[in-house]
Amino acid sequence: MKVLVTGGGGFIGSNLVEALLRRGDDVRVIDNFATGRRENLAEAESWAAEGGGHYELLEGDIRDPETVRRAVEGCDVVLHQAAIPSVARSVADPLTSHGVNVDGTLNLLLAARDLGVKRFVAASSSSLYGESPTLPKVETMCPDPISPYGLDKLAAETYCRLFHRLYGLGTVALRYFNVFGPRQDPSSEYSAVIPKFTAALLAGRAPTIYGDGGQTRDFTYIENVVRANLLAAEAPEEACGEAYNIACGERISLLDLVERLGRITGREIAPVHGDPRPGDIRHSLADIGKARRLLGYEPVVTLDEGLERTVAWYRREHA
């Protein structure tokens, strides 16, 4: 199988690329490295050189239709991970966020339709649920995003559903809930909380929580997300045209997260608190029953095991 991974230089994308090559698939990556990093692909390149599947890198921007057509041509499956992946960044710059997350997705869908792609799996987000107090979040709930990023993902997901209905393209949207794990960059002001907390604790600094820390999240280890993508790429036709929550189905507060990471790192340092950030959701928890039924998805790595693995990786890489 030949697979295009968009955003393959990113945290999620690079883990997907490596998993595909390990099982012998041919992989093409497109990335403009605006947020992804070339070094994230070093292990994938080594694996391909040692006898894994064929690997190819196309440096380019998914906002350019001609570049996208070159990337999609000859591929059986598209795993679409490319995005400006930040609520805070979308609040600061909604136009760029829309251009990549919506226009880029539409370019890919058009190319996939025209070039005979069999399956198009798109990374969506729990952020499109918004601030509904109902928990857990179920796919039948009415979306109500409170950030440009959440709106972008809703628009992209809706395009996927329409392309399935209008053109017969086999689309699947995966609503990720707070993905974490190795290769997640802690250095940006827009970084996710687990890499930022981990980096701070390992350096002996107090982690910063925006708000009171009572906000809760359904954190999802990267291996579970990779598995969900591989299942979606091969799921039966009846699974297409749908969106699925991808998570573990459990939630913890940010205060609890800091405490757990403190125990794992051996650096139990009390957090400092900043002002809440606009666009941030207070509580998040997934119902994963639909993904279980139609994709065969089951989380294989628990939160605690994922945190242990993540801290071990940061110790090795940032020692």
Active site residue ranges? 149
Tokens read off for 165: 């209905």
Q: How far apart are CA 282 and CA 180, in angstroms?
A: 19
